A = this chain, B = another copy of it.
């Protein structure tokens, strides 16, 4: 019945969208919070959290391919690790998503899924979940 939890995500590709909807839903149910706001937050600077469609797995693939093509390395980048595109994508997609909780469930549209976005994998990653009631 905690309002805070960490989940682990293992990525296998450089750019990858991993559906974490089931884990988020389990957390909301276990929290026994009937109504509030839920925050899904990643503490990494080369990753993100987004909400999009997963009914057709081609959707997250197309998003990832577009990001790969449109945010490539640039001669003017100075960050020595060479992963500035991943940092840029982290800012564009955002470190978190907030959701509404009603009747003990996260409110998601019919086609919405919650994704952890890997932009500099493969790596072992974490996502923090938190609910405030209201």
Contacts and interface: CB of A to CB of B under 8 A. Distances in A.
Report the interface size class on chain A: 35 or more
A43 B109 contact: yes
B91 A78 contact: no
Interface string A41-71: 1111100001111001011011101100101
Contact of A59 (B4, B51, B84): B84
15 contacts: A4-B102, A37-B37, A41-B107, A42-B109, A43-B108, A45-B51, A45-B52, A51-B90, A53-B87, A56-B80, A58-B78, A59-B79, A63-B88, A94-B94, A94-B97
Q: Give 4 nearest A-B pairs by CB, closest first.
A: A132-B134, A43-B109, A62-B84, A58-B78
